[in-house]
Amino acid sequence: MSVQNTGSRLEERVALVTGALGGIGEATCKALAAGGARVIASDAHANGVDDLLASLRTLGASCAFFELDVTKRGHWEAIMPKIESEFGLLDVLVNNAGIYRFGKVESASDELLESLMQVNIRGVVLGAQFAIAQMKRRSPDLPWASMIHLSSIAGLVGSPTSSLYSMTKGAVRLFSKSLALEMAQLGYRIRSNSVHPGIIDTDMAGEVAQALSSKGLDADQIREHMRAGHPMARMGQADEIARGIRFLASDDSAFMTGAELVMDGGWTAR
């Protein structure tokens, strides 16, 4: 196959992005739209949805928004048939919705533990479960469907300020790998890969900063920690992660499943 014939374009692909009104989610919707995908954005709230849909339409994408709390099975049950009837069967799922909450293990409340596990683990599993139901019915003439799950550097290496978050992101990493094997063994033609960003300049980075302030660091020290932790000496940008997600969504990554795409400015290379 010539390089020109590889499938970096996503024409006609139907892509669902969760947590689409956050930093990485919004950038991902735009990157997928720019690649020609039909984009279904979703989030637990709808603040800012008009601006997002306007930008996606400017990029020429057919798009829609659904309010979807990834932890609520009933929400998934309600929106999946709507996606199928309005757009057709799902080709791409970006399991992006996630939360960061700081808490030391010795004093973590059940509520803290539960919220992290519900959104970051159970939400990802529900997404996969509902996506499989559609993806396995796609025509065998199509390239494999693609699921992309947002893990983190916190799913690869330890950090003293993120034990509980790391637990969830480590779970996503191995869920993605095992799901890749399960899908292949079942003959479903669905790829599954995880993405591992460093610290990215989004609202979530603000939460991470708060966690660091609880260690007694001032604002300048926190900024320096977040910058200097990356050998490339800067934080990442949401669109840099979105381009990697678009690669995993596209046929340019056709032979990748059960893999990890690390985009961390070198954080985990040491």
Ligand X SMILES: NC(=O)c1ccc[n+]([C@@H]2O[C@H](COP(=O)([O-])OP(=O)(O)OC[C@H]3O[C@@H](n4cnc5c(N)ncnc54)[C@H](O)[C@@H]3O)[C@@H](O)[C@H]2O)c1
For 8-62, where are the E strands, in sequence order? 14-17, 38-43
Is 62 within 8 Å of 17 (Cβ atoms)? no
Q: Is 96 in the site for ligand X (CB under 6 A)?
A: yes
Per-residue mark of binding to ligand X, 131-150 (x: CB under 6 A) = -------------------x
Is 228 within 8 Å of 147 (Cβ atoms)? no
Counting residues that bind ligand X (by CB under 6 A) gives: 29
Least distance between ligand X and beta carbon 254 (Å): 24
Least distance between ligand X and beta carbon 93 (Å): 13
Least distance between ligand X and beta carbon 140 (Å): 32
What residue is closest to ligand X based on CB? 22
Is 100 known to be catalytic?
Answer: no
Q: Which is nearer to ligand X, 7 or 213 (CB)?
A: 213
Q: Is 99 in the site for ligand X (CB under 6 A)?
A: yes
Q: Is 35 in the site for ligand X (CB under 6 A)?
A: no
Of 65, 100, 102, 165, which residue is the catalytic one?
A: 165
Q: Which of residues 1-20 bind ligand X (CB under 6 A)?
A: 18-19
Q: Is 37 in the site for ligand X (CB under 6 A)?
A: no
211: three-class secondary structure by DSSP = helix
Judged by CB under 6 A, the residue of 21, 39, 128, 262 near ligand X is 21
Integer-rounded Cα Rg, in Å, for the chain is 18
Q: Which of residues 194-223 bind ligand X (CB under 6 A)?
A: 197, 199-200, 202-205
Q: Which is nearer to ligand X, 7 or 115 (CB)?
A: 115
Is 100 within 8 Å of 204 (Cβ atoms)? yes
Cα–Cα distance measured from residue 56 to residue 184, given in angstroms and rounded to the nearest whole number: 33
Q: Is 25 in the site for ligand X (CB under 6 A)?
A: yes
Residues in the chain: 270
Task: State the maximum Cα–Cα separation within the chain, in Å, rounded to a whole number.
Answer: 57
Cα–Cα distance measured from residue 247 to residue 231, given in angstroms and rounded to the nearest whole number: 24
Q: Please, what is the angle between helix 203-213 and helix 219-228, to 10°? A: 120
Residue type, 117: M
Judged by CB under 6 A, the residue of 146, 152, 193, 250 near ligand X is 152
Q: Is 97 in the site for ligand X (CB under 6 A)?
A: yes
Q: Is 24 in the site for ligand X (CB under 6 A)?
A: yes
Is 63 within 8 Å of 41 (Cβ atoms)? yes
Q: Is 34 left (phi over 0), alpha (psi -120 to 50) or beta?
A: alpha
Query: Footprint of ligand X on this chain (CB under 6 A)?
Result: 18-19, 21-25, 43-45, 68-71, 96-99, 119, 123, 150, 152, 197, 199-200, 202-205
Known catalytic residues? 165
